[in-house]
Amino acid sequence: MLTTLAIQNYRSLRDLVLPLSQLTVIVGANGTGKSSLYRALRLLADAGRNGAVAALAGEGGLPSTLWAGPETISRAVREGRVPVQPLRRTTSVGLRLGYSGDEFGYALDFGLPIPSETAFNLDPEYKRECVWHCPVLRPSALLADRAGTRVRIRDESGSWIESGHSIALTDSMLSEFADPRLCPELLIVRDRVRSWRFYDHFRTDADAPARQSRIGTRTWALDHDGGDLAAALRTIQESTDAEALATAIDGAFPGSSVEVTTADGRFDLRFHQHGLLRPLSAAELSDGTLRYLLWAAALLSPRPPELLVLNEPETSLHPDLLPALAALITAAAKKTQLLVVSHSQLLVRFLEDASVLELEKDFGATVVAGQGRLDQPSWHWPKR
Ligand SMILES: Nc1ncnc2c1ncn2[C@@H]1O[C@H](COP(=O)(O)OP(=O)(O)O)[C@@H](O)[C@H]1O
Ligand SMILES: [Mg+2]
């Protein structure tokens, strides 16, 4: 289980350390940084597939994603006596992301390259990457340590081994340096991070992937675009969770059920609705019904990941469906760790055993409401 998530200098998340529980819900007003938190976590997961540099470019590059405020907010600024001013930085600016859990912790530190004769002076570079034994990063707890192009690994006797080959500054140690003999822990951390699953707004328009019929295979995890919905539902129906799926559908739409038909390998949904003479196909379902089925397929996955992250699952769902959605989330949290970003008070009220963190803004920076310095989980960033 992940116990702490830490983010520094990512958009409005200037310096955030969050405690995570089995079911954590992030709430807050518009613009407080909820979506940024979701994206920061996804960026962290991208490092496990060496995709973080490309993902940052897709978000407008490192300079645009970095915290745009000052390094520190002085008392004079807080009291409104002087405007915010760009002061000389005392530390190098870096976008830092990390987590710690029951066993291992991982952190990365992105910075800009030293300018040179190249067109790629805005490419983010890994300045530091560390994997350690939990609970907190201490020199003696380090297992694998990357500084620039160098990777060092701790052996069983506790002494450092230089890996011997250098790693490109834009490649992640986690994905590109996983040697099962030198450092099996690195491989474990990488595979766990790769298993994290993220679901954001599902498309339900007329051309949405979930409305098309397609060739299906056994689907343990719904695709993030929902294109394999029929195969994913059928996989659940052939698993021990068949009953849970039937209950989830009946709970949301009393008297209804879903059937998945196949012809020549193509999988199609048939939604049997109380009062209709024939079942409806995926193309005919209302947006809300289709969206609910997508969340059911995602949350009832027979092979849950280490961490499941949902961004505003209530979007475009009728309030009547929120109790059923909350029941699905509560049940999923018994099998996997969940982080849910939500702006629906109603959904949050229906969730059981959730720890709720409310985000708010303090001089442009996201903070956790009611969290003082001493309430923060302990966290140390690797130094450059
Ligand atoms: N580089 C940046 N530095 C500081 N703040 C930023 C930066 N980029 C975006 N923001 C701020 O972050 C907020 C975006 O938050 P977002 O995660 O979309 O909020 P929510 O999902 O809670 O509505 C906005 O208030 C925006 O002004
Ligand atoms: Mg948002």
Evaluate whether residue 331 is within a structural domain: no
Rg of the chain, C-alpha, whole Å: 23
Structure confidence at residue 73 (pLDDT): 76
Q: Are residues 22 and 135 in the same domain?
A: yes
Q: Do residues 40 and 7 make contact, with C-beta atoms less than 8 angstroms apart?
A: yes
pTM score, whole prediction: 0.94
Looking at residue 86, what is its pLDDT? 65
- Are 226 and 173 part of one and the same domain? no
pLDDT at 89: 64
- Let me know: does 64 contact 343? Beta carbons within 8 Å: no
Asked whether residue 252 carries a pLDDT value surpassing 70, the answer given is yes
**Does residue 110 share a domain with residue 210?**
no
* C-alpha–C-alpha distance, residues 99 and 104, integer Å: 9
The pLDDT, as a whole number, for residue 37 is 98
Question: What average pLDDT does the segment 195-207 reach?
Answer: 96
Please, which residues have CB less than 5 A from ligand 2, an ion? Answer: 34-35
Smallest-distance ligand from the CA of 40: 1
Of 11, 30, 41, the one to substitute when testing ligand 1's pocket (max ligand atoms within 8 A of C-beta) is 11
Q: Is 270 exposed, middle or buried (0-12, 13-18, 19+ CB in 10 A)?
A: middle
Asked whether residue 182 falls in the same domain as residue 272, the answer is no
Q: Do 50 and 183 have their domain in common?
A: yes
Q: Do 210 and 90 sit in the same domain of this protein?
A: no
pLDDT in tens, 45-56: 999 999 999 999
Check whether residue 116 and residue 149 sit in a common domain: yes
The answer to whether the Cα torsion of 24, 25, 31, 36 is positive or negative is positive
Residue range of the domain that includes 240: 204-304
Q: Which ligand minimizes its atom distance to the CA of 366?
A: 1
The answer on 260 and 135 residing in a single domain is: no
Q: Is the pLDDT of residue 83 over 80?
A: no
Please give the pLDDT value at position 81.
81
Q: What is the pLDDT at residue 342?
A: 97
Say what percent of the chain tops pLDDT 90.
Answer: 80
Whether residues 89 and 225 share a domain: the answer is: no
Confidence of residue 350 (pLDDT cuts 50, 70, 90): very high
- What percentage of the chain carries pLDDT values higher than 70? 98
Q: How many CB atoms lie within 10 A of CB 361?
A: 14
Mean pLDDT of 79-102: 81
Do 7 and 65 lie in one domain? The reply is yes
Site residues for ligand 1, CB cut-off 6 Å? 11-12, 28, 30-36, 66-69, 364
168 & 291 share domain: no
Question: At residue 349, does pLDDT exceed 80?
Answer: yes
Domain count, the chain: 2
Whether 234 is in a domain gets the answer yes
192 and 215: one domain?
Answer: no
Confidence of residue 164 (pLDDT cuts 50, 70, 90): confident
Q: What crossing angle do the helices spanning 287-299 and 229-237 adopt, rounded to 10°?
A: 50
For position 318, what pLDDT does the model report? 93
The pLDDT value recorded for residue 88 is 63
Q: Give the residue, out of 7, 10, 12, with the most ligand 1 atoms within 8 A of its beta carbon, to mutate for a pocket test.
A: 12
Measured in Å, residue 6 CA sits from the centre of ligand 2 at: 19
Inside any domain, residue 328: no
Quote the ligand 1 centre to 11 CA distance (angstroms).
6
